[in-house]
Structure 1
């Protein structure tokens, strides 16, 4: 049975919510969305899932369906947009966001590229990144690992990195917690110095390949190979969570 890179990445994303408890999973992107649903069905039964629109659901619907579409999803609660801000403020949420740029300390940019007064490219703005990194654990997903994403210095800080959090005086960032960065090549985490390092490379990917695709030095001491999905995880991904194979559009097979 051939296992695709997308499936390896989805299982790696599911790992960020392992034993997370009763927190709201916020997943940006197809692969993180699969990962959150997979975590709920395996290692994190108390994980709270949204259908992506306005409901908490007890059984995650397949990708592309909302609770309003019917099917197997059981609605647990109505969640208007305003309630999400209360959840974020309370810290009862764990987010996996995307990133247009990330620097060695995990500062993240999704706002613009270039000088903010005259940007070369306007992106989506800071969105919820500041609140996420101030109030609860935040992980990142990068579908195309490249030196354009992993840069020495981000053009705008949206999500707060470890260096800025440690330099902050007072209690404003006492709940700051960066977890891991999952990419199409590897899983990165943070060392004692707060810098990104290679935790594991995906099957078929070398440490040198990851380093060549990164715009700064990465420590690879102790790096392993990202684990393959189990047969049960593959069944859930292929038959229950993503039967239409949308995962292969984000990470081609």
Structure 2
């Protein structure tokens, strides 16, 4: 790739934002769910996080190119989860200002209007392991004032149990509009960076609760030429990322 390569697309900014979730993580199991998080985890392994462990989703540890390099049976996988040695990046049907996540149902719990995945492993993920979220379509239907059912535990609910709250860590939320964290006094959601071309007003209009907006919100870090080459030529030469996040 030459220095005159096309500028990064919105999807490529999202890949970088997801990759940054694992910066400095050391030897920890990365569990990215979905295309963009998977590209981010593999990019991190290729570059600034060589100690990451990656899986094929079953029982094999793989390198950043998908080649087998170890065995991870389910029993060992669960030991890593409950011991806090995994950082998962999940999706969500709904998320609120404190990071409570819903992947189970939409509407009244007793008679929902939509059935989603179910609670699955979300409570245990957020009990001990670093957890992040990827949301490809930022809207008020997803960023809600109150989730219809709590699956992944948010900061307000974790705080009710001080003995275990110290193990609770929501790292970041990445959407197609920007990056969000919980670095506020009450651990409510904060706008940490904007993807290029996105305004604070646009994010506010697409969010169903009041975000903390710091003065001078920075732009999401751009991929350098080496990272762009990896994304475009090695990790996703078919360009599938552009179908998930359109510029």
- Which TM class, normalised by the smaller chain length? over 0.9
Cα deviation digits, residues 67-105 of structure 1 (max 9, x gap): xxxxxx1x2212233332111111110011111100110
Which is worse superposed, 156-165 or 76-85? 76-85
Match of 1:160 in 2: 153
Check whether the contact 1:49–1:60 (CA below 8 A) recurs between aligned residues: no
Superposition pairs of residues 198-209 of structure 1, within 5 angstroms: 198-209=191-202
Classify the secondary structure of the residue corresponding to 1:130: helix
| Equivalent of residue 35 in structure 1, options 29, 33, 40 | 40
| Equivalent of residue 6 in structure 1, options 11, 14, 19 | 11
TM-score (normalised: structure 1): 0.92
TM-score (normalised: structure 2): 0.94
| Equivalent of residue 176 in structure 1, options 168, 185, 205 | 168
Match of 1:243 in 2: 237
Which is worse superposed, 76-85 or 196-205? 76-85
Cα RMSD for the two superposed structures: 1.2
Superposition pairs of residues 3-152 of structure 1, within 5 angstroms: 3-61=8-66, 73=67, 75-152=68-145
Cα deviation digits, residues 96-135 of structure 1 (max 9, x gap): 1111100110000000001111100000011111011001
Structure 1 segments (4+ residues) deviating >6 Å: none
Unaligned 5+ runs, structure 1: 62-72
CA offset at residue 172 of structure 1?
Answer: 3.2
Unaligned 5+ runs, structure 2: 1-5
Check whether the contact 1:51–1:60 (CA below 8 A) recurs between aligned residues: no
Classify the secondary structure of the residue corresponding to 1:172: helix
